[in-house]
Amino acid sequence: MRKLIFPALATAAFVAPASLLAQDASDETIVALEERESPFSEMAERMRDPENQRQMALMLRTMSEVLLDMPLAPLMNSVGEIAGEDAPRVDPDATLRSVAPEADRVPEEIEKNLPRALDTMGSMADAFEQMMPALEQMAERLRDAAPQAD
């Protein structure tokens, strides 16, 4: 049963209600999809913004709380079907929270650690943007050096 729990969780993450992720569309969202001169700088700014970090941490905490309380039996059955194996019998009322009580601390850890992770990702985005000219030059040299396909 343990080897099926993680695939079941992954499946749950993909089938989680879309309403958890839904947000009102705004002009800002549409503008974000347009090509910008420095997309990494803007992304880094958003990742470092404390209010964005707080909102994302709360959203992910809420999503993890929901996933911890989802029934495992239907997920286990689906994973068993996908794997072509008989799924182990699971109590219909079993949830990840009831099967793995230590998972109870995951939502709090997400909320606590996500801002630091976003700060790090923002720094990586800045570094990647600084590397872009060198990467573009490298790509041009590789293109020029590579034999042309007929």
Mean pLDDT of the chain: 79
Taking the C-alpha atoms of residue 90 and residue 5, their distance in angstroms, rounded to an integer, is 11
Looking at residue 7, its amino acid is P
Distances (CA, A) of 113 to 20, 25, 30, 49, 135: 21, 28, 29, 15, 31
Residue 32 pLDDT > 70, yes or no? no
The pLDDT, as a whole number, for residue 12 is 52
State the pLDDT at residue 141.
Answer: 92
Residues of the chain above pLDDT 90, percent? 38
C-alpha 114/C-alpha 111 separation (Å) is 6
DSSP string computed for 121-147: HHHHHHHHHHHHHHHHHHHHHHHHHSP
Average pLDDT of the residues in 51-69? 94
Higher-confidence position of 24 and 120? 120
Residue 78 pLDDT > 70, yes or no?
A: yes
The DSSP letter of residue 25 is -
More confident residue, 17 or 73: 73
pTM as predicted: 0.56
